[in-house]
Structure 1
């Protein structure tokens, strides 16, 4: 089963990302960046 993860990084500073957000990005097969 596939999952859709929506990860927001607020103002765009990578220092403000949570550990869960970084883990989700590392596990993703595809990234969509508008």
Structure 2
């Protein structure tokens, strides 16, 4: 679970989705999940 989360976070950083779409719900959900873990 933790690994999966970090991998997703890395993928988002790589393609800059979080920066391009700061209000994107999927991105925010993953970020929140990663912060909790």
Larger Rg: 1
Greater percentage in helix: 2
> What's the TM-score, normalizing by structure 2?
0.44
Structure of higher RCO (CA pairs closer than 8 Å, 6+ residues apart): 2
